[in-house]
A = this chain, B = another copy of it.
């Protein structure tokens, strides 16, 4: 009984046409204030809410945006999502969240499932396992899309990133100021601009301070945590680095465990810092120096950007927004 409250029902009870009701609900200029009030108050009384499917079908608007991230369990992404939601809520949009788990195929499959008008726009942070530039070159023409953090550089699309190069340069200098000379680099996201920028910032800082870059001090990320653990131990034994620059959060656990197992003291024997948004960084033993990205703000900016596109405003704005990360010095670098 009470379930079937739709526009037709409102129209009948008020003795007006459904067109008038619809327009009144959408605050159209064509409708007098008096009838608007009549409609609105009855709608409220009957607890009317518009059917989204019908509305979407007719208007081609879904009031939903999609967020595609590798993993919501990652601190960075969960914060970014929070930033996105804040804006989405402001614009009355729902948020559809997809996790790719770094699987490029799943990423494409998810994205494709959104192209038939399921969402108004997409915010994406691409998977790190494959560089799928061609796919995205097509995609950005088909749907409003904003990249954040993990972007494709060459594309003509809106991109929100951070100052990976500069902050990595600065972090490396921090090591050097603490007296480190053999700074190892734990290399993640190698296929993405963010990864290479972090690496280049590290390398350039070494060179700028007259320290030779040594290929053998670079360790590539493996998805298998055990492998990373083993690799770090090997790195320690073979090359005795006095510092570890971890370019992604995932290296922290195996690095700390390796130090514990090899009885290396942090920061005495080796100093460590890492890109990270872990809230417990300050509780590690010892507390971890981090490069912390403004994750919430990135999500915030990305979402704002998308709604600019959806509302056709500021299309001539700069398509590249770069936010600043911050280096938080703690005990693991010890100075």
Contact = CB atoms under 8 A, between A and B. Distances in A.
Contacts of A116: 49-52
A284 interface: yes
Nearest to A277: B73
Contact of A118 (B94, B112, B117, B256): B94
Contacts of A79: 73
Contacts of A253: 279-280, 282-283
Nearest to A56: B53
A47 to B, nearest CB: 9
Interface in A162-197: none
A95 B96 contact: yes
Contacts of A97: 72, 95-97
B99 A82 contact: yes
Contacts of A57: 51, 53-54, 57
A56 to B, nearest CB: 4
A285 interface: yes
A54 B53 CA distance: 7
Contacts of A98: 95
Contacts of A284: 280, 283-285
A292 interface: no
A242 interface: no
Nearest to A50: B116
A75 interface: yes
Contacts of A81: 72, 99
A64 B54 CA distance: 16
A301 interface: no
Contacts of A56: 53
A22 interface: no
A305 to B, nearest CB: 21
A282 B284 CA distance: 9
A310 interface: no
Contacts of A149: none
A283 B53 CA distance: 48
Contacts of A19: none
Contacts of A73: 75, 78-79, 82
A49 B113 contact: yes
A52 B118 contact: yes
Interface string A109-125: 00011011110000000
27 contacts: A49-B112, A49-B115, A49-B116, A51-B57, A52-B118, A53-B54, A53-B117, A57-B57, A73-B75, A73-B78, A73-B82, A78-B78, A81-B99, A94-B113, A95-B96, A95-B97, A96-B97, A97-B97, A252-B283, A253-B279, A257-B283, A278-B280, A280-B280, A283-B285, A284-B284, A284-B285, A285-B286
Given A78-B78, A253-B283, A284-B284, 5 more contacts: A49-B112, A49-B115, A53-B53, A53-B117, A278-B280
